[in-house]
Amino acid sequence: MKKNIAIVAGGDSSEVVVSLKSAEGIYSFIDKEKFNLYVVILKKGDWSVRLTDGGSAPINKNDFSFVENGQVVRFDFAYITIHGTPGENGLLQGYFDLIGMPYSCCGVLAASITFNKFVCNNYLKSFGVNVADSVRLFKGEAWSDQAIVEYLGLPVFVKPNDGGSSFGVTKVKEITELNGAIAKAFEEGEEVLIESYISGTEVTCGCYKVKGKEVVFPLTEVVTSNEFFDFDAKYNGQVEEITPARIPAELAERIQRETLRIYDILGAKGIIRVDYIIEANGEPKLLDINTTPGMTATSFIPQQVRAAGLDIKDVMSDIIGNELNKIRQ
C-alpha cells in the first residue's frame, strides 16, 4: 500500500512565497507511483490540506490527520519545506516528534542552532570552521555605530539573525547607512546580525546521508551583478549559477569534505546546503547553512543533483525511505 506523504509548506515569515514554490517542486520530484502526495499549508493557526478535488480540509492538530470523503486520512511522513518559522527553527520538528511523525529534515536541536546564525557560527567556530566576525543586536538594545564599525570595518552585511531568502538584508558601505539597515532587519525578527564583509567567489554545496550511504553534490558557483545574492538574484533570475563551480578540483573536494563534516557536527538529517565565500587567499569561509533548502525546479539542489548524474526522484525516495525504515526496525 502506498504511503501518504504530507509536503508541508507555508509558514509565518516573509519566506512563505518561497516555501509554496518549493512545495510545487517537491510535489513534482517525489515518485507518485510509490507515494500518495498531499500539500499541507500552515499559516499561523490555520492548518489545511489541499484535496484532490481542488478543495481543502482542516488538519487535526492532535494527530496531523484530516477527513476526506468521510474517511480519516493519516500521514506516514512529512516533507518539511517551510523556510523560516515554524519549519526551519525546530518548532514543527518538536510537534512531529511528540506525535511520532517521521519527517525529512534536521531535528529540533540542529534546526534551532542553524536558524540562529550567530549561535550557529560561534558553535561551528569552536570546531574550527572558518566563519566571519559578527555582532548580534537584540530589539530594544542600545548600540554604538562607531564601536560596530571599529570592530567589523566597512562594508558590513546587516541581516535578520533568524531569517532567510535575503529578506531584510542590506550591504552597508557607510556608517551613516547603518541605523536604517538595522531598522530594516528588525522588521523581520527580534535579533539582528551584523557581519564583516567577505569578498570572493560564492559557492554552495548540498549533501545528504542515509543509512549506509552519503552523497555530496557538485558545487554551484553563484555569480550576480547585484550588490550581493539578494532576493531578486535568487528568485527573479538576476544571477548566473554555474554547476559544477569553476574552481580547482582539489578545492572543490575540500569544500565537499567540509560540508560533510558540518553535517556530522550538527547531527543533520535529510538534505542540507552550505554556502561559502572563497576568499582571495583560496580559503573558504562559511556564509550560511540551509537545513530546508529551496526545492523549486531551478533551485541549487535540483541543479546539483542533475550535475551529479542522479535522479531527483531517487534522492527523494532515499530521504523518505530512510526515515520510514527506522519505524520498521
Q: Where does residue 78 rank: exposed (0-12), middle (13-18), buried (19+ CB within 10 A)?
A: buried
Q: Flag whether pLDDT at 25 surpasses 60.
A: yes
What is the predicted pLDDT for the residue at 216?
Answer: 98
Q: Name the residue with cell 550557529.
A: 120
What is the predicted pLDDT for the residue at 189?
Answer: 83
Distances (CA, A) of 12 to 17, 84, 92: 11, 7, 12
Tell me: the pLDDT tens digits for 234-264?
Answer: 445 568 999 999 999 999 999 999 999 999 9
Q: Flag whether pLDDT at 163 surpasses 70.
A: no
Residues 6+ apart with CB under 8 A from 314: none
Tell me: the pLDDT tens digits for 166-221?
Answer: 678 999 999 999 999 999 999 888 899 999 999 999 999 999 999 999 999 999 99
What is the predicted pLDDT for the residue at 311?
Answer: 98
**259 dihedral zone (left: phi>0; alpha: psi -120 to 50; beta):** alpha
The Cα 146–Cα 149 span in angstroms is 5
Tell me: the pLDDT tens digits for 96-117?
Answer: 999 999 999 999 999 999 999 9
DSSP state of 297: T
